[in-house]
Amino acid sequence: MTLVEMCLTLLVFGIVAASIATAFVAASDLVEEGRGRAELVQAGRVAMNRLLAEVRTTQTIEERAENTLRVFSSGQTDAGGFARSVEFSVEDGALWRRVIGEEKQVLAEQIESFETGGLTLWSKLGGPGDVVFPEVGAAGYFVSAPAWRPVHFGDGFWAPEGSGRCVFFPTAGVLDNARGTIEFWMRPEFSAEWRGAYRDKYLVDTEGSGGKIELIFDYSERKLVFRMNGTSVTDVWWRPTWAPGEVVHVGLVWDCTGRALGGNRTMALYIDGVLREEATETNTWTPREFGPYISLGKASGREAEASFENLRIYDHCKTDFTDRYRQDDLGLMWVRLMLAEDNAGEPFTMESGVLVR
């Protein structure tokens, strides 16, 4: 082997060795990135499981805001019973848990944000106190002196013809034009055969808004109409089979994308837990703002001619109403954790839900 051949051979060996070293370093980096992401995910899972276990014992939602949740929870453990207010919050890149009156503790690190949702408004509508101090959500108020009438669980807010009565609740933080659910028990004083006063009956309405929600009994057409955005382009309807004075459960569900309800539906009307629609609504829309209030009992000068009880509004689409006979359920609460970026600079979001009975 000549000197030149020897130099060329050493040069080739050097290039190969450098390539091997580079590949080894790259592989090590990939392993480290994978390990970093796995550790991040595992930490998120641990935090989520601990959080859901605590939330499952919730009796009352005391405060819910961005990066904050405070609940009153109670239950029984091997050590005995407990009853406490617990606050969860995200601060300085960590998820904290604090029993009110005690020092806070870290549940998990590398948590950037924390969000919860579920029930946004809940008023039993059994008396004035249920409107002014609802179980969940901001206070409502009355137009005209309120009156009450038995519905399902007990008394409900009554808006007969000529009374001028209705009840208002704020929409801020309660209603989202993109998706949501409204449900309540109702005792109508009309039917498709006996239509009551000679005019339409406004049951639910958000007057003065682009992103409008309406539930109306159309007197001339003898049908119950659920309409979004103030237009027949997005509505569903059904001809009622109930008798006057019969108690029924109503569920109004919407999703502007058509992805959450099945069959590309953007709207759904449920009566007594059954999907009721003469034609499927699949038209989508761009979310718009609501007016400041949602009303039950009257709109545009026309009363509902019905009684209402146990109003519940959610920020997600609910299609199973088998829990309608349980007045005190908080229902599904969803939790979303945004974890810190992993070694590859990729953020990671973890979401789950828990039924709170």
Q: How far apart are CA 142 and CA 145, in angstroms?
A: 7
How big is the chain, counted in residues? 357
Residues 6+ apart with CB under 8 A from 145: 165
Evaluate whether residue 77 is within a structural domain.
no
- Total domain count for the chain? 1
Evaluate whether residue 27 is within a structural domain.
no
Evaluate whether residue 109 is within a structural domain.
no
Nearest by Cα to 199 from 226, 214, 218, 213: 218
Q: Largest alpha-carbon pair distance within the chain?
A: 113
Q: Could you tell me how far CA 270 lies from the centroid of its own chain?
A: 17
- Supply the pLDDT for residue 230: 84
Phi, then psi, of 197 in degrees rounded to 5:
-60, 150
Q: Is 92 helix (H, G, I), strand (E, B) or coil?
A: coil
- Contact (Cβ atoms closer than 8 angstroms) between residue 63 and residue 70: yes
How far is residue 96 from each of residues 84, 92, 93, 99, measured CA to CA in Å?
16, 10, 10, 10
- Supply the pLDDT for residue 36: 60
**112: enclosing H helix or E strand:** strand 111-117
Angle 70-51-253 from CA coordinates, rounded to 5°: 75
- Supply the pLDDT for residue 203: 95
Evaluate whether residue 5 is within a structural domain.
no
Q: How far apart are CA 308 and CA 156, in angstroms?
A: 5
Q: How far apart are CA 177 and CA 286, in angstroms?
A: 9
Q: How far apart are CA 36 and CA 29, in angstroms?
A: 10
Give percent of the chain with pLDDT exceeding 90.
49
Evaluate whether residue 178 is within a structural domain.
yes
**46: enclosing H helix or E strand:** helix 3-55
- Supply the pLDDT for residue 73: 87
Q: How far apart are CA 349 and CA 17, in angstroms?
A: 41
Evaluate whether residue 270 is within a structural domain.
yes
Q: How far apart are CA 43 and CA 31, in angstroms?
A: 18
Q: How many CB atoms lie within 10 A of CB 71?
A: 23
How far is residue 193 from each of residues 148, 158, 278, 305, 357, measured CA to CA in Å?
25, 22, 18, 15, 39
Q: Is 22 helix (H, G, I), strand (E, B) or coil?
A: helix
- Supply the pLDDT for residue 343: 60
Question: What is the DSSP annotation of 275-329?
Answer: E--SS------------SEEEESEETTEE--EEEEEEEEESS-----GGGG-TT-
Q: What CATH number corresponds to the domain at position 241?
A: 2.60.120.200
How far is residue 169 from each of residues 132, 140, 212, 329, measured CA to CA in Å?
9, 4, 14, 20
Within the chain, which residues score under 50 in pLDDT? 3-33
Evaluate whether residue 21 is within a structural domain.
no
- Contact (Cβ atoms closer than 8 angstroms) between residue 95 and residue 55: no
Evaluate whether residue 275 is within a structural domain.
yes
Domain, as residue range, for 202:
119-315
- Supply the pLDDT for residue 141: 94
- Contact (Cβ atoms closer than 8 angstroms) between residue 114 and residue 337: yes
The residues facing 117 across adjacent strands are 334
Nearest by Cα to 212 from 222, 198, 224, 226: 226
Nearest by Cα to 179 from 272, 113, 117: 117
